[in-house]
Structure 1
Amino acid sequence: MANVIYSINGPVIKLRDTKDFSMLEMVYVGNQKIIGEVISINDKETTIQVYEGTTGLKPGEPVYSTGAPLCATLGPGIMSNIFDGIERPLRDMAAKTGAFIEVGSDIPSLDLKKKYDVTLTVKKGDHLKPGQIYATCPETSVILHKCMLSPLLEGDVISVKPDGSYTVDDVVAVIRDADGVEHELTLCQKWPIRTARPVAARIPTHRPLITGQRVIDTLFPIAKGGTAAIPGGFGTGKTMTQHQLAKWCDADIIVYIGCGERGNEMTQVLEEFSELIDPRTGKALTDRTTLIANTSNMPVAAREASIYTGITLAEYYRDMGYHVAIMADSTSRWAEALREISGRLEEMPAEEGFPAYLPSRISEFYERAGYMTTLCGEEGSVTIIGAVSPQGSDFSEPVTQNTKRFVRCFWALDKSLAYARHYPAINWMTSYSEYDDEFADFYDKNAGEDFRSLKQRISALLAEESNLMEIVKLIGADVLPDDQKLVIEIAKVIRVGFLQQNAFHKDDTYVPLEKQRQMMKVILYLNDKASELVARNIPISNIISTGIFDRLARIKYDIPNDKLELFDDYYKEIDEKLAESDR
């Protein structure tokens, strides 16, 4: 008896009285052959979630087995491309079916006609170990693609093609394994998206991911191979912050996952990234970027899969020895997809209707980040930066709280800061980074030995200002002594002149570590000199009237990134202005 649909409930399909399917097997559902995945089996029913709309599907239509799990196709052609949640190329689909995706569109993930200039790195008689590189080809102007043996294979090379132009499906070598079975090697391979790719070793990282965003690099740094969450309510700048990190962080490759976000935001990513010149290479930024677009109007089950598709692509490039950064926007929409599917499966709900396995799914995702020694002996990393969208900016809701358990960097976006046009709207009192102490040697070598002490003093001033503002709210600022009024004025310079950053200004959109250090140093120099005057009973009003505080708040615009020697002039100006107030 053929396997046919028994019931349909949104993206959840059930079959009766069959034992032909295995858990997590990919299947084709209905006459249109919609892609699906087996998610539950018992002796009576088999449950499948499908990754496309089920409109028009009817009971009695056939379900076809593939015998394989849901896999991503990995090979040259991923960079500069844009895929949906199950790695179908959206540009190719648009060319074939128009602006609206047809149900059952079966389009190869990679371009099967495009030829690449392939250089073979092995010869006949070589023994290939799992993950070893056997061919290379330039994928884009900045990314050299390294074709690696599947981690599940090992054997001796029995034939090799000469260097030349090949498509991703062309056989370039043949190996024979220990059982005598021959395996043809092409430029691509498949890997199950829900299974982490194996590595030789996970190693501790002592290198930060440099982003050029002062509040992150200075106060709340993230490691290469680290994990970070950006929680924030509507309009607080989660997507904008991730755009900035994608443009400027010193990762080799960016994987941007638009998971359940608005379509216009993904359009903005596409348009902006295609126009941007990569500051690291001088080439187009898209040459080292791939996009997974699963917008809010796309099928909910594919939204759940998009996170795994993105992390699998990232692990593949990590195995080549690249440092990859994933922007997942947003994991809350992914969790909502889990909740919807769980509800249709009639599972027992946990807190706020989310499934009881929500924490384990979140941990599985973030656990796939890390700094690794790969099977081919290279060092590579996957850094995960996930946006969280708590309803009503309520950070006590389950997705935010469970994400907080599994990430080591928490950049809490503040609604009041965002509405005051302070960007990035990262609240310096509620955010934290657990990586800080691990970067001591890096900062001493690359940013100056006083970088960390300057940062600690800046943090202390901000914390002191926060405490003083509680008093000011109750009884006003006039009753404070001058030394505490000075703290408030200096903290204002730090907030406006240092923490606030302008993404549209050519010198302020990205700031190197040395300039960050010099900015902290000159602000603290003003603090020290003004403190000396206040200690001698010079009124704080005299010091403020010199205009030096407002002058330093504009320093980020006045000093170009390549003319840091201009900082010397500010020390002289501070001395001159404060001398005036002392007369």
Structure 2
Amino acid sequence: MTKKGIIKDINGPIVTIILPGVANGEQVKIGELGLYGEVISLQGSEALVQIYESTEMVRPGEPVEGLSHPLSVELGPGLMGGIFDGVQRPLEKMFLQAGDQIPRGLSPDSLDRESQWTFTPTESLEPNTQVSGGIQLGSVQETESVLHRILVPPDVSGELIEIAPQGDYSLDQTIAQVKTANGEIRRLKLFHRWPVRQPRPYQHRDHSSEPLITGQRILDTFFPLLKGGKGAVPGPFGAGKTMVQHQVARWSNADIVIYVGCGERGNELVDVLDSFPDLKDPYTGRSLMERTLLVANTSNMPVVAREASIYVGITIAEYYRDQGHDVVMLADSTSRWAEALREVSGRLGQMPVEEGYPAYLASRLSAFYERAGRVETHDCGKGSVSLIGAVSPPGGDFSEPVTSHTKEIIQTFWALSKELADARHYPAIDWVDSFSADVSTAAAWWHEQVDRNWEKRRGQALSMLARDAELSRIVNLVGPEALSSAQRWILEGAALIKEGVLQQSALDPVDTFSSPEKQFLLLDTLLTIYDQGADLIELGVPVQELSNLPILAKLRRCKEVYDSDQLDQLRAFREQAIKSFESIRSEYAQRGEQTS
């Protein structure tokens, strides 16, 4: 039964309505324009509604209609390659209908109802069997890269009465019928709806043991994130947060990529929308958009839709996780989402706490990040959602509330440095402030798949970088002459690591991606050269002679000379570098014999 009411009061995106029988969290349609909103507070028949669009020219007394369901998303074939706004309205379809200036109240179906999909039922599924949420009814080849498994919705269980044969079906056609315990017949389609603020159920959580490989050396080798892990990329304006997320989206070994532009500047999202369709998937050679979904909600869009956008993204991520896929979701940025919370809470008259944010900021952040994880699905094996949120602290202050609360929740922290960015060191991830809680778990994978010395070499490099920071302070105070030859060689070795491993150009066709094997080979080569040089300095070789060796310049550049398919050539170059140091050793050994 349709519920009717009227608008009582308007306060920006917050509207007070009178609607008997409305439920908290229910979606409503507001005014003559038919703007969509969500009930966030309820007192009797009077409710507060947050509207997803501008309420300009909307007047008290206009009609209100209750829709009897919460904010939900449509989940089914046709999501991949899509570009949606913060409440899952398809932007391309809206553009075709209305042009550049999209009118308020326009709300087309999220998924195309006219497209036909070839449905292949599960062979082992027969009528009269019991089914429940998460059971696979069949599959659809959504794109060349993604097999879309059609699942029984989580809120449906009972006896399977009928399942459609293989054939082409539209989203509105029935593909199965289930008789529930109370005798109700539920007609299942290729898609279903699910509330975005309600996590989708699963069998149980599973401990992840495989790192998310991004092809970025400082991330994979030094601060790994597991599949199903929670990570954050905090940094000031201009430090490269968006570029780091673009690289993860492009190169990570996930099955599905979901990019949520939450309150970011329009020009940055335009770059994403322009560049992603032209990118090739490095794992399939096809278009990256075949396994990518974009949620675009820029800073000039309604603030309430910004608050909803990350829930839309994470719900779609959970849906593909339930199909047994590994999903990576990138939220850029959670700071803008938190600012939306602050604005709405201010209009509601709620008591502000730290820097004006609502008291529930930490719990909302925690609840959001907890929806990441690796799980055992009901019928499709294991799936995961890796969640990486960008954080934009004002002035780069990591002690502000959003960054500090996020730091307590996540497992991997990729801290960006303005100083490194100003020095043209990219990615500008600070190896001092960054951390990963998953190193020991990732080490087991690296030791089995790449080399058993990974954890040892990683620790040696980080120790050298920490020692470099101490010695650099001394140099800044009293000059390099105060250091011993061994200490000056530490500075040289740290420079090799910084330039030869940590720096990585996203624009270089060779250097933009490094396989795990190449990452370790580069690191091990540079540390081996450092060890050889340290031995030579003990024999009395001047540090200046070692620092001026032409082979060191070549070592710094070999990351962009040899790609991940040229490891044999890289190993040959490594042997050449080692021999150049051994020749110096032989020369000084002969000098020592002649002197004696």
TM-score under structure 2 normalisation?
Answer: 0.96
Task: Give the deviation of 1:332 after TM superposition.
Answer: 0.4
Code of the residue aligned with 2:243 in structure 1: it is M
Where does residue 251 of structure 1 map in the other structure? 254
Q: SS where residue 482 of structure 2 aligns?
A: coil
Task: Give the deviation of 1:407 after TM superposition.
Answer: 0.4
Code of the residue aligned with 1:80 in structure 2: it is G
Where does residue 38 of structure 1 map in the other structure? 39
| Contact 1:112–1:168, Cα closer than 8 Å, also in 2 | yes
CA distance in 2, matches of 1:328, 1:80: 17
Task: Give the deviation of 1:450 after TM superposition.
Answer: 1.0
CA distance in 1, matches of 2:4, 2:462: 67
CA distance in 2, matches of 1:577, 1:443: 29
CA distance in 2, matches of 1:496, 1:455: 16
Where does residue 169 of structure 1 map in the other structure? 172
CA distance in 1, matches of 2:153, 2:165: 21
Code of the residue aligned with 1:437 in structure 2: it is S
| Contact 2:5–2:20, Cα closer than 8 Å, also in 1 | no
CA distance in 2, matches of 1:187, 1:366: 29
| Contact 2:118–2:140, Cα closer than 8 Å, also in 1 | yes
Code of the residue aligned with 2:8 in structure 1: it is Y
- Percent identical residues: 43
Q: Does residue 472 of structure 2 align to residue 486 of structure 1?
A: no
1:70-109 superposed matches below 5 A: 70-109=71-110
Q: Does residue 438 of structure 2 align to residue 432 of structure 1?
A: no
Code of the residue aligned with 2:579 in structure 1: it is D
Q: SS where residue 114 of structure 1 aligns?
A: coil
Task: Give the deviation of 1:245 after TM superposition.
Answer: 0.3
Q: SS where residue 469 of structure 2 aligns?
A: helix
1:308-327 superposed matches below 5 A: 308-327=311-330
| Contact 1:546–1:578, Cα closer than 8 Å, also in 2 | no
| Contact 1:489–1:549, Cα closer than 8 Å, also in 2 | no
CA distance in 2, matches of 1:555, 1:569: 9
Which residue of the other structure, out of 393, 398, 419, is the alignment partner of 1:395?
Answer: 398
CA distance in 1, matches of 2:142, 2:559: 38
| Contact 1:259–1:295, Cα closer than 8 Å, also in 2 | yes
Task: Give the deviation of 1:44 after TM superposition.
Answer: 7.1
Where does residue 200 of structure 2 map in the other structure? 197
1:97-496 superposed matches below 5 A: 97-121=98-122, 122-496=125-499
Q: Does residue 572 of structure 2 align to residue 568 of structure 1?
A: yes
CA distance in 1, matches of 2:582, 2:349: 71
Code of the residue aligned with 1:53 in structure 2: it is S
CA distance in 1, matches of 2:44, 2:317: 37
Residues 374-419 of structure 1 deviation map (CA, whole Å, 9 limit, x = unaligned): 1214100000000000111111111100111110100000001111
| Contact 2:443–2:454, Cα closer than 8 Å, also in 1 | no
Residues 236-287 of structure 1 deviation map (CA, whole Å, 9 limit, x = unaligned): 0000000000000000000000000111211111221111110111111000
Residues 513-566 of structure 1 deviation map (CA, whole Å, 9 limit, x = unaligned): 111111111111111111111112221011112223222111102223212122
Residues 455-495 of structure 1 deviation map (CA, whole Å, 9 limit, x = unaligned): 11111111110111121121111110000000000100100
| Contact 1:206–1:442, Cα closer than 8 Å, also in 2 | yes
Where does residue 4 of structure 1 map in the other structure? 6
Q: Structure 1 453/324 Cα, relative in aligned 2: closer, same or farther at 3 Å? A: same
Task: Give the deviation of 1:577 after TM superposition.
Answer: 4.8
Where does residue 594 of structure 2 map in the other structure? none
| Contact 1:440–1:452, Cα closer than 8 Å, also in 2 | yes
CA distance in 2, matches of 1:288, 1:372: 21
Deviates more, 1:376-385 or 1:116-125: 116-125
CA distance in 1, matches of 2:20, 2:68: 13
Q: SS where residue 175 of structure 1 aligns?
A: strand
Q: Does residue 554 of structure 2 align to residue 551 of structure 1?
A: yes
Where does residue 69 of structure 2 map in the other structure? 68
CA distance in 2, matches of 1:150, 1:127: 14
Q: Which runs of 5+ in 1 are unaligned?
A: none
Where does residue 58 of structure 2 map in the other structure? 57
CA distance in 2, matches of 1:128, 1:259: 37
Where does residue 505 of structure 1 map in the other structure? 508
Deviates more, 1:84-93 or 1:559-568: 559-568
CA distance in 2, matches of 1:475, 1:467: 13
Q: SS where residue 3 of structure 1 aligns?
A: strand
Q: Structure 1 2/187 Cα, relative in aligned 2: closer, same or farther at 3 Å? A: closer
| Contact 2:25–2:71, Cα closer than 8 Å, also in 1 | yes
Task: Give the deviation of 1:308 after TM superposition.
Answer: 0.1
| Contact 2:38–2:50, Cα closer than 8 Å, also in 1 | yes
CA distance in 1, matches of 2:193, 2:373: 22
| Contact 1:261–1:333, Cα closer than 8 Å, also in 2 | yes
CA RMSD of aligned residues (A): 1.3
CA distance in 2, matches of 1:333, 1:99: 24
Q: SS where residue 5 of structure 1 aligns?
A: strand
CA distance in 2, matches of 1:145, 1:364: 27
CA distance in 2, matches of 1:179, 1:432: 52
Q: Structure 1 578/489 Cα, relative in aligned 2: closer, same or farther at 3 Å? A: farther
CA distance in 2, matches of 1:561, 1:380: 28
Code of the residue aligned with 1:514 in structure 2: it is E
CA distance in 1, matches of 2:75, 2:45: 36
Code of the residue aligned with 2:146 in structure 1: it is I
CA distance in 1, matches of 2:422, 2:282: 30
Task: Give the deviation of 1:440 after TM superposition.
Answer: 2.6
Where does residue 13 of structure 1 map in the other structure? 15
Task: Give the deviation of 1:578 after TM superposition.
Answer: 5.8
Task: Give the deviation of 1:580 after TM superposition.
Answer: 4.2
CA distance in 1, matches of 2:52, 2:429: 36
Task: Give the deviation of 1:102 after TM superposition.
Answer: 1.2
| Contact 1:139–1:145, Cα closer than 8 Å, also in 2 | yes
Q: SS where residue 55 of structure 2 aligns?
A: coil
TM-score under structure 1 normalisation?
Answer: 0.98
Q: SS where residue 236 of structure 1 aligns?
A: coil
Code of the residue aligned with 2:105 in structure 1: it is G
Code of the residue aligned with 2:353 in structure 1: it is A
Residues 163-200 of structure 1 deviation map (CA, whole Å, 9 limit, x = unaligned): 11111111111111111110001000010000000000
Deviates more, 1:312-321 or 1:63-72: 63-72
Q: SS where residue 104 of structure 1 aligns?
A: coil
Q: SS where residue 6 of structure 2 aligns?
A: coil
Residues 352-394 of structure 1 deviation map (CA, whole Å, 9 limit, x = unaligned): 1011100011001100000000121410000000000011111
| Contact 1:490–1:549, Cα closer than 8 Å, also in 2 | no
Code of the residue aligned with 2:100 in structure 1: it is A
Report how many aligned residue pairs link the two structures: 582
Where does residue 539 of structure 2 map in the other structure? 536
Q: Which runs of 5+ in 2 are unaligned?
A: 589-596
